[in-house]
């Protein structure tokens, strides 16, 4: 449980670092903003499923109005995940969650695997965002777990 909690704290930190790098870059790339919004919405989708709610109200791939909107999404996500994690017991990590994906297909996945999906999905896309920043001649930001752990 401690490892997942540390990884979640890393996720909140890394989301914030990516947003700072995007703000500093001044990017207007709509595809890049769409990608970072996708990360925030995917976090919402999985949390909704963990809470036993539906997720069909979320649109995973949609243009973002601006980084301020996305920052608010990430901040809300962090608050809600922290509350969820505080109430989660280690014995519940292997409980199965029934949900329907965005295409309407039913699935059953453990809480542990859902949390790992959220963590790894975000890190994958943050790497893509950093690469896009480099292609725009902007400075990518360090988001490795070890950097976070050294703080």
Which of 114, 85, 84 is CA-nearest to residue 5?
85
- In the annotated binding site, the residues are 38, 121, 125
Alpha-carbon gap, residue 128 to 125, rounded angstroms: 5
Tokens read off for 126: 């943050």
Residues 145/122, Cβ–Cβ less than 8 Å: no
- In the annotated binding site for a divalent metal cation, the residues are 38, 121, 125
Residues 145/7, Cβ–Cβ less than 8 Å: yes
Tokens read off for 37: 């919004």
């Amino acid at each position: 449980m401690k490892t997942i909690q540390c990884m979640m704290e890393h996720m909140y930190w890394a989301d914030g670092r990516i947003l700072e790098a995007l703000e500093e870059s001044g990017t207007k790339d709509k595809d890049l903003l769409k990608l970072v919004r996708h990360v925030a919405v995917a976090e919402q989708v999985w949390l909704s499923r963990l809470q036993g709610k539906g997720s069909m109200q979320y649109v995973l791939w949609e243009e973002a109005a601006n980084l301020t909107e996305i920052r608010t999404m990430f901040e809300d996500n962090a608050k809600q995940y922290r509350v969820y994690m505080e109430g989660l017991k280690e014995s519940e990590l292997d409980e199965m969650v029934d949900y329907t994906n965005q295409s309407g297909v039913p699935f059953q996945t453990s809480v542990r695997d859902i949390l790992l999906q959220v963590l790894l999905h975000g890190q994958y896309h943050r790497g893509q965002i950093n690469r896009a920043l480099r292609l725009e001649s902007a400075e990518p930001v360090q988001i490795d777990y070890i950097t976070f752990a050294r703080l």
